[in-house]
Structure 1
Amino acid sequence: MMFTVPENMKGVQLVGHGGPEQLVYRDDLKVPVPLKGEVLIKVAAAGVNNTDINTRTAWYSKSDNGSDDASWSGNALVFPRIQGADVCGYIVAVGEGVDSNRIGERVIIEPCLQEGNGEALAQAWYFGSECDGGFAEYTKVAAKHAYRIETALSDVELASFPCSYSTAENMLTRADVQRGETVLVTGASGGVGSAAVQLAKARGATVIAVTSESKRELLMQLGADQVINRGDNLIEALGHNHVDVVVDLVAGNQWPELLDVMKPFGRYAVAGAIGGAMVNLDVRSLYLKDLSLLGCTVLLPQVFANLVTRIEQGKIKPLVAQSFALKDIALAQHAFGDKQHVGKLVLRVDAE
């Protein structure tokens, strides 16, 4: 199978830290050339994530000037950068050492990269942060991170999976969630949270979701056994020592309550802090209850392959709230910030 690959493409470049005005839509970007061990992918759809906005605003930075360490790796972001961690597309060319039979494969990209620029990485990259991602007509990635997928789901539906669902699956894997355990998920109506509800339920866990009252019914439909209104006191709602695992994407002022509702030897997994990154920790709660605190960013080796299998087997379902044309990325990010949706917002790249 042969594809004609143009020299130029349309895409969105992030040209600096700041507001949506830093996102520039262009039609004269150079199509990337795959290096040794890489594949070139024609992007069909790309999901919008919290990390896109956090990277744009330099939220990850801990430095005084807010730009010296604003990437996932803790280094300065290189501009211009094409963001976009959630990608579904089709392999149209391969680099040296990659089987040409892979051309034509429909793939989703593992966003946490262990290989980049044709070589193994000493520190993991995130697709669209340390390297260009999927907010363009074409992108490239190491062949090992492009997973063939066989499913009747649409490209837009598949683009809702990679970042959110792999993050959720990684948290559940790191916390070793077992059948019969009780899992509390904060931020349950978001992309990662709604994925965690489904994936925890698929493991046979009892799932408690924390979300707004308006989203209660949809979370129950996704598999939540109980829904607690966001802002309600968790101790009053559940009591002390009630849950085995906390999957946290919020942090913020209510954080101490999460430790209080955990059983002795409970596991706390975190991959987000949308409610505020600074929390109060009573160390006595940590050591007297023998709790484990797990920071979850780099995916364990088996996580993405397991996710692809679950998708192909139909054990989890996509949850797409709305789709936008790529050129409307600022509108999509504005809608994302309003937090009125449940699930994912996705950019239709092949519609450009």
Structure 2
Amino acid sequence: MEPKLMKAVVTVGQGGYEQLVYKDVSLPTPGNGEVLVKIHAAGMNNTEINTRLGWYSSSVTDSTNDTSGEASADQEQKSDGGWNKSTPFPLIQGTDCCGTVVSADNGSQHLVGKRVILRPCQRGEGFDNVWLGSDFDGAFAQYIKVKAEHAFAINSDWSDAELATIPCAYGTAENMLHRANLTAGETVLIAGASGGVGSAAIQLAKRRGAKVIAIASRDKHPQLEGLGVDQLLDRNDDLISLVGENSVDLVVDNVAGKQFPTMLKVLKRGGRLVSSGAIAGPVVDLDMRDMYLKDITLIGTTAWDAPVFPNLVGYIERGEIKPLLAKTFPLEEIATAQQAFLEKKHVGNFVLIPAQD
């Protein structure tokens, strides 16, 4: 019997857009404890581009903004270029998914027919974790198989594309605020506020009752004003003069780069800085005196804490957050979508739509 096939984008290795191959692949067969999900929409994030380019390698020191999405002709394959060191190419990428469960084993039959979003971070013992679309086949396809415990049924009037903006960006932002224990009445400074994680962090911080100062290009300020930001700054503004030293309880910084030392200056004594990225450059200047003399806590976050994803489902169902869907593209136009993504002219998230058979 011929295997059943589906359309998928397969990333065949590190390199440029030529590594993204739209082709027929075998339909995944779910095993014990797994469900098969028909994908209606798949969100797109920085991580897919970074993984394809091997940006996570310790040998890379440039910002993600310095790349066109293309690899140099003489680029060597980086064995440590993925989230968990090596990436298992060929790989179907895609961390974000909204779809419908079409089959399940006897223990998960209650999910069949349900619309679900998938938890992309699957945490094991301690901080060990694997990621959908980075460590095993993800959502840039017509179907996907996952462990049933990571498929969350959701009751919402949002569209499939709107729900597909949530998992990675909002989960990452929620994990950062949860781990940093942001509380009502505190002041949080969010760098890179127009991106998927940054704009999610604004909403999630406001629902906690925090005062939010957001940094983004001035042309994107009108789109962020509707999220309830208390103070909007341009990324070229002088933070010390406009925010002040020792004035912020928490910095959410996925930008890093040259601005990093200033972030420590604006933190209060006993303040916290939380990060899950470094789009302006992973190697930063750190004056240890700013850290230890001010009792600052630096918090790195990748593995998601257990309450994070169930919290997000609740926020959506209760109408406490809203999606920021920038644009949709057909799945087969992924290269065009990634090129547009890298122009950084959008606010929120791009979503890919697979052909519906």
- Scaled to the shorter chain, the TM-score interval is over 0.9
Whole-Å separation in 2 of the counterparts to 1:198 and 1:204: 10
Contact 1:38 1:98 in 2 (8 A): no
Equivalent residue for 1:343, pick from 316, 334, 348: 348
Whole-Å separation in 2 of the counterparts to 1:243 and 1:351: 48
Contact 2:127 2:303 in 1 (8 A): no
Contact 1:45 1:350 in 2 (8 A): no
Equivalent residue for 2:112, pick from 95, 103, 110: 103
Q: Which runs of 5+ in 2 are unaligned?
A: 61-75
Contact 2:132 2:138 in 1 (8 A): yes
Contact 2:33 2:108 in 1 (8 A): no
Whole-Å separation in 1 of the counterparts to 2:195 and 2:169: 9
Aligned equivalent of 1:135: 140
Contact 2:128 2:303 in 1 (8 A): no
Whole-Å separation in 2 of the counterparts to 1:125 and 1:187: 25
Deviation sequence 1:65-123 (CA, Å, 0-9, x none)? 5521122112x21111000001000111114x5321211111001110136xxxx8983
Deviation sequence 1:114-134 (CA, Å, 0-9, x none)? 36xxxx898311110110000
Aligned equivalent of 2:35: 39
Report 1:56-205 matches (<5 A). 56-63=52-59, 66-74=77-85, 76-95=86-105, 98-114=107-123, 123-205=128-210
| AA matched with 1:167 | T
Contact 2:35 2:101 in 1 (8 A): yes
- Secondary structure of the 1:284 match is helix
TM-score (norm: length of structure 2): 0.92
| AA matched with 1:19 | G
- Secondary structure of the 1:86 match is coil
| AA matched with 2:103 | A
Aligned equivalent of 1:55: 51
Deviation sequence 1:159-198 (CA, Å, 0-9, x none)? 0000000000000001100000000000000000000001
* Identity within the alignment, %: 52
Please say if 1:29 is aligned against 2:25.
yes
Deviation sequence 1:7-65 (CA, Å, 0-9, x none)? 11001000010111100001x20011111111111000001100000000000112595
Aligned equivalent of 2:64: none
- Secondary structure of the 1:134 match is coil
- Secondary structure of the 1:98 match is helix
Equivalent residue for 2:332, pick from 319, 327, 332: 327
Aligned equivalent of 2:72: none
**Which one has more relative contact order, counting CA pairs under 8 Å at least 6 apart?**
2
Whole-Å separation in 2 of the counterparts to 1:225 and 1:268: 19
Whole-Å separation in 2 of the counterparts to 1:204 and 1:192: 18
- Secondary structure of the 1:90 match is strand
Deviation sequence 1:211-252 (CA, Å, 0-9, x none)? 001011211111111011012121121110011000011000
Equivalent residue for 2:14, pick from 17, 20, 26: 17
Distance change (3 Å), C-alpha of 1:79 and 1:204: same
Aligned length: 340
Whole-Å separation in 2 of the counterparts to 1:30 and 1:81: 13
Equivalent residue for 1:226, pick from 227, 231, 235: 231
Contact 1:43 1:350 in 2 (8 A): no
| AA matched with 2:154 | I
Q: Which runs of 5+ in 1 are unaligned?
A: 1-5
Aligned equivalent of 1:3: none
- Secondary structure of the 2:157 match is coil
Tell me by how many angstroms 1:350 deviates: 4.3
- Secondary structure of the 1:254 match is helix
- Secondary structure of the 2:128 match is strand
